[in-house]
């Protein structure tokens, strides 16, 4: 190999190594606030021939993940003692709205996380979440949204809600302070976070419809 060819080869190797080094240290893209997925979750089903679909034509052919008879995880009461301090304690308050659960006969007051940065932060660093409050994440896209619990100090239920208000899945008693991701396996436009165990306590389950009162 001539001198010129050796110089070119060495340069190509150096460029290749440089690219590998940059790729190795590149931060992964942020998740939309929010898994290795929780593979033990119940598989979604199509509501084509169930009694619920017969009673409500809006359920026919819809992707809905039913709740198991017994929760797969136990709720962890109170705040995780590992809860970090909030780096932005004076952050501006979010808009407010309400989620109406007609079948359960209740109305839940919610904070609205519409902006990307608000969705990324979510309920991080919160030390208290009253039973009559929650946070509603509103997305621009209808997809199988994935959520995590990074810096989240309270165990939560996550309710995945489609554009027309159909609850397509509920992830119950999600554990605190972890980077696993959780999803319904069905497309949604909204995700509602409430205190762990809230859904079963109030008789809320997938296949029900909610109303949204948003500003």
The better pLDDT of the pair 1, 148 is held by: 148
Q: Is the pLDDT of residue 50 over 90?
A: no
Q: What is the pLDDT, as a whole number, of residue 42? A: 59
Residue 13 lies in a domain: no
Instruction: Provide the domain limits for residue 109.
Output: 35-68+96-214
CB 131 within 8 A of CB 162: no
Helix (H) or strand (E) holding 116: helix 116-121
Please write the tens of the pLDDT for every residue from 69-82: 999 999 889 999 99
The better pLDDT of the pair 29, 42 is held by: 42
Q: What is the pLDDT, as a whole number, of residue 44? A: 75
CA distance 178 to 38: 12
Residue 197 lies in a domain: yes
Reported pTM: 0.79
Residue 87 lies in a domain: no
Band the pLDDT of 10: cuts 50, 70, 90: very low
Q: Is the pLDDT of residue 51 over 70?
A: no
**For residues 43-71, average pLDDT:** 77
Taking the CB of residue 191, how many other CB atoms lie within 10 A of it? 28
Domain count, the chain: 1
Residue 22 lies in a domain: no
Residue 181 lies in a domain: yes
Residue 39 lies in a domain: yes
CA distance 191 to 139: 9
**For residues 162-183, average pLDDT:** 97
CB 98 within 8 A of CB 134: no
Residue 77 lies in a domain: no
- CA nearest neighbour of 129 among 170, 91, 83: 83
Residue 189 lies in a domain: yes
CB 114 within 8 A of CB 89: no
CA distance 102 to 168: 16
Q: Is the pLDDT of residue 32 over 50?
A: no
CATH number for 127: 2.60.120.1140
Q: What is the pLDDT, as a whole number, of residue 2? A: 52
Please write the tens of the pLDDT for every residue from 105-143: 999 999 999 999 999 999 999 999 999 999 999 999 999
Q: What is the pLDDT, as a whole number, of residue 35? A: 35
- CA nearest neighbour of 114 among 95, 142, 99: 95
**For residues 34-52, average pLDDT:** 50
Q: What is the pLDDT, as a whole number, of residue 43? A: 67
In percent, the amount of the chain with pLDDT more than 90 equals 71
Taking the CB of residue 189, how many other CB atoms lie within 10 A of it? 20
Q: What is the pLDDT, as a whole number, of residue 215? A: 76
Helix (H) or strand (E) holding 188: strand 188-195
Q: What is the pLDDT, as a whole number, of residue 75? A: 85
In angstroms, how far apart are the furthest CA atoms of the chain? 83
Cβ neighbours for 28, distance < 8 A, ≥ 6 positions apart: none
Band the pLDDT of 21: cuts 50, 70, 90: very low
């Amino acid at each position: 190999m001539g001198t010129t060819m050796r110089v070119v080869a060495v340069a190509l190797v150096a460029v290749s190594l440089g690219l590998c080094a940059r790729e190795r240290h590149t931060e992964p893209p942020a998740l939309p606030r929010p898994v290795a997925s929780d593979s033990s979750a119940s598989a979604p089903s199509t509501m084509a021939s169930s009694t619920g679909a017969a009673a409500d034509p809006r359920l026919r052919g819809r992707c809905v993940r039913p709740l198991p008879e017994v929760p797969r995880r136990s709720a962890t009461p109170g705040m995780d003692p590992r809860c970090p301090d909030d780096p932005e304690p004076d952050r501006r308050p979010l808009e407010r709205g309400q989620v109406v659960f007609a079948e359960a006969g209740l109305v839940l007051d919610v904070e609205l996380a519409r902006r990307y940065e608000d969705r990324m932060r979510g309920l991080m660093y919160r030390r208290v979440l009253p039973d009559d409050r929650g946070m509603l994440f509103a997305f621009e896209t209808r997809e199988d949204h994935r959520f995590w619990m990074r810096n989240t100090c309270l165990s939560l239920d996550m309710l995945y809600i489609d554009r027309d208000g159909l609850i397509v899945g509920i992830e119950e008693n999600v554990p605190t302070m972890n980077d696993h991701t959780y999803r319904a396996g069905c497309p949604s436009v909204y995700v509602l976070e409430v205190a762990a165990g809230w859904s079963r306590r109030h008789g809320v389950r997938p296949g029900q419809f909610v109303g949204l009162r948003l500003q």
